[in-house]
Amino acid sequence: MAKPKHDYDNIDFFKRIEALAMNGYTDEEIANELDLAADVFGAMKNGNYQGWNEEENKRRGSEIYRVLAHGRTRINALVRSAYLKGAFGGKKTKSKIVKYVQDKCYCMGQDKKCPKCGGTGWVVLTDKAVVQEGETELPPNMQALAMWMYHHDPEWRKVERKQDEEAIDIPTDINHGVDIGKWIEKEVSND
């Protein structure tokens, strides 16, 4: 029998899977990082790997499943937090603009081969720079807030569904010869 690629009972094996899951890796990508075939890793996770006995499949499979879920729960919480921060707005972004001071060259632009100005007549004084720093605050993202409310507030969802039911259904099938202009006129005259 071939030597196993990993010590499947070592805590480090499971910690590595959890760390990969927390970094957003898919099952297939985790399998690749572990130098396992995707179907082999899937069988291990689901507790039906042929290389393990029934007890090992049950114990190891449930632990793989647990660490995957735990790692993905943590990354999902971080992503959700970043999403909400962006939705609420108020994130401050800093910018820095460096403007260099120019001075006239001693050649006054007369010498096209001047080593200081290259014939332009101006020399950039890099030691005398003006730094402008700015800070802007991002506005709230109303679409992100509405999406969050739709998925997490049943009352909001009821209002949104009611609005969707009341929305005008415009035919879009060109093959049936619908003249959108005439259809809109008909709809407006019906009101």
What is the reported pTM? Answer: 0.53
**Longest Cα–Cα distance in the chain:** 90
- Who's near 89: CB < 8 A, 6+ residues apart? 137, 138, 139, 140, 141
pLDDT-flagged residues of the chain (< 50): none
End-to-end CA distance of the chain: 80
- Of the candidates 122, 97, 126, 93, the one whose C-alpha atom is nearest the C-alpha of residue 109 is 122
Distances (CA, A) of 136 to 8, 81, 85, 130: 51, 21, 15, 20
Q: Give residue limits of the domains in the chain.
A: 11-87, 92-137, 153-190
Spatial separation of the C-alpha atoms in residues 64 and 102, rounded to whole Å: 64
pLDDT at 171: 55
- Of the candidates 161, 141, 139, 140, the one whose C-alpha atom is nearest the C-alpha of residue 151 is 161
Spatial separation of the C-alpha atoms in residues 83 and 31, rounded to whole Å: 29
pLDDT in tens, 90-108: 888 888 888 888 888 888 8
Spatial separation of the C-alpha atoms in residues 74 and 42, rounded to whole Å: 21
Query: Nearest 5°: phi and psi at 101?
Result: -80, 140
pLDDT at 184: 61
